[in-house]
């Protein structure tokens, strides 16, 4: 017998057997993982029902790696806002130390703490307004932003509600595929006119890889059981987000003074009525 040839055949056979065994082990592992996730999701749904919370969203898996993100509030300087909205011809009125109003004709802009901007148009609309579509309402909102020097590239429509003759729209701040909270711009649009806009926005300062971890979505969402404002609601989306909370910053000295800090990873819970919560690992 040629033992050298027999040894080679034996090695090849063993490798083939190991490959088959490995395939079944991996397949069983994947099927077990998928089965466990389905079971976990069913269990979560049953627990949430105890507080009349309906889950209409899949439970996402935590990403393998997370980022460390430094953000800052978009600052609304009265001189700049006057130029953007009124060509510098608006009348400025200081309401108190933290609130300033700029107005001209039917339009006004209120700035609070330099962070929150509220635009309003009080001109009376015709009694009969043209019915508009969601698409045309979005186009009106984006045109309004563009004409005032804002970019809509980092915005995503996350809630809309039809109103008489128009729509209420809410956009959230995005960084690649993740939400940045709290960064919101909301509109009330009637016909082809923006009647009101509220904006508190966050800009990204620095992005780095990090060793941060995030609790599983299955565990995080069960916190809703102890949050009364979530009871009786329907969850429509669960997504990864990075959340900036001024109170959790080392140099926190009140909301008015907080301008920049670290955004921590969390799970963003969107409800059917447009409200949302952020559940983080702390």
pTM for this model (two decimals): 0.78
Helix ranges restricted to H, the chain: 3-49, 78-86, 134-147, 217-221
108 close to 91: Cβ distance less than 8 angstroms:
no
Do 48 and 95 have their domain in common?
Answer: no
The tokens describing 260, both together, are: 């920049």
211 close to 230: Cβ distance less than 8 angstroms:
no
Given this model, what pLDDT does residue 193 score?
92
* Residue, of 118 and 27, whose pLDDT is higher: 118
Place of tokens 């780095």: 208
* Residue, of 260 and 225, whose pLDDT is higher: 225
**Rounded mean pLDDT of the chain?**
82
Do 110 and 182 have their domain in common?
Answer: yes
Do 65 and 90 have their domain in common?
Answer: no
Count the domains in the chain.
2
> End of a domain among 157, 177, 200?
200
Do 129 and 176 have their domain in common?
Answer: yes
Do 195 and 82 have their domain in common?
Answer: yes
1 within some domain: no
Given this model, what pLDDT does residue 103 score?
95
Do 213 and 132 have their domain in common?
Answer: no
Q: What is the CATH number of the domain that holds 161?
A: 3.30.310.160
Do 166 and 226 have their domain in common?
Answer: no
* Residue, of 227 and 253, whose pLDDT is higher: 227
Local confidence band at 43 (pLDDT 50, 70, 90 cut-offs): confident
pLDDT tens-digit readout, 212-250: 888 888 888 889 998 899 999 999 999 999 998 776 655
CA distance 116 to 198: 7
What whole-number percentage of the chain has pLDDT above 70? 79
SS3 135: helix
Concatenated DSSP letters of 209-244: EE------HHHHHGGGGG-GGGTT-EEEEEEEEEEE
pLDDT tens-digit readout, 66-106: 888 999 999 999 999 999 999 999 999 998 888 999 999 99
Q: What CA dihedral angle connects 219, 225, 231 and 237, to 10 degrees? A: 0
- C-alpha Rg value of the chain to the nearest Å: 26
* Residue, of 176 and 31, whose pLDDT is higher: 176
4 within some domain: no
Q: Is 70 exceeded by the pLDDT of residue 172?
A: yes
* Containing structural domain, residue 133: 75-200
Local confidence band at 23 (pLDDT 50, 70, 90 cut-offs): very low
pLDDT tens-digit readout, 2-21: 545 444 444 444 444 443 34
6 within some domain: no
Do 240 and 194 have their domain in common?
Answer: no
Nearest residue to 122 via CA among 110, 113, 114: 110
5 within some domain: no
> End of a domain among 200, 235, 262?
200
> End of a domain among 200, 217, 237?
200
For CA atoms 131, 132, 134, 138, the dihedral sign is: negative
pLDDT tens-digit readout, 177-219: 899 988 899 999 998 899 999 999 999 999 988 888 888 888 8
136 within some domain: yes
pLDDT tens-digit readout, 48-70: 888 999 999 888 888 888 888 99
SS3 127: coil
CA distance 77 to 234: 39
The tokens describing 153, both together, are: 């590239």
Q: Is 36 left (phi over 0), alpha (psi -120 to 50) or beta?
A: alpha
Given this model, what pLDDT does residue 254 score?
52
CA distance 134 to 161: 9
2 within some domain: no
pLDDT tens-digit readout, 116-161: 999 999 988 766 667 789 999 999 999 999 999 999 999 999 999 9
């Amino acid at each position: 017998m040629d033992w050298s040839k027999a040894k080679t055949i034996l090695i090849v056979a063993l490798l083939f057997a190991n490959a088959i065994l490995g395939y079944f082990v991996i397949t069983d592992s994947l099927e077990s993982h998928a089965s466990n996730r389905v079971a976990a999701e069913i269990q979560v749904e049953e627990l949430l029902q105890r507080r009349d919370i309906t889950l209409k969203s899949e439970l996402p898996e935590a990403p393998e790696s997370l980022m460390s993100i430094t953000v800052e509030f978009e600052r609304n300087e009265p001189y700049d806002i006057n130029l953007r909205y009124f060509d510098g011809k608006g009348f400025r009125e200081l309401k108190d130390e933290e609130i300033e109003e700029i107005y001209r004709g039917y339009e006004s802009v209120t700035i609070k703490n330099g962070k929150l901007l509220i635009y309003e148009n009080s001109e009376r609309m015709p009694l009969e307004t043209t019915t508009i579509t969601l698409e045309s309402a979005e186009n009106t909102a984006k045109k309004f932003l563009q004409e005032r020097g804002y970019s809509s590239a980092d915005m995503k429509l996350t809630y809309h509600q039809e109103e008489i003759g128009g729509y209420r729209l809410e956009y959230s701040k995005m960084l690649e595929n993740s939400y940045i909270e709290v960064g919101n711009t909301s509109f009330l649009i009637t016909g082809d006119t923006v009647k009101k806009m509220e904006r508190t926005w966050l800009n990204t300062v620095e992005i780095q890889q990090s060793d941060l971890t995030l609790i599983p979505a299955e565990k995080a969402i069960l916190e809703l059981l102890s949050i009364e404002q979530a009871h009786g609601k329907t969850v429509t989306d669960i997504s990864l987000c990075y959340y900036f909370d001024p109170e959790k910053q080392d140099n926190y000295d009140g909301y008015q003074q907080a301008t920049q800090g670290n955004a921590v990873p969390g799970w963003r819970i969107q409800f059917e009525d447009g409200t949302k919560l952020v559940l983080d690992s702390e």
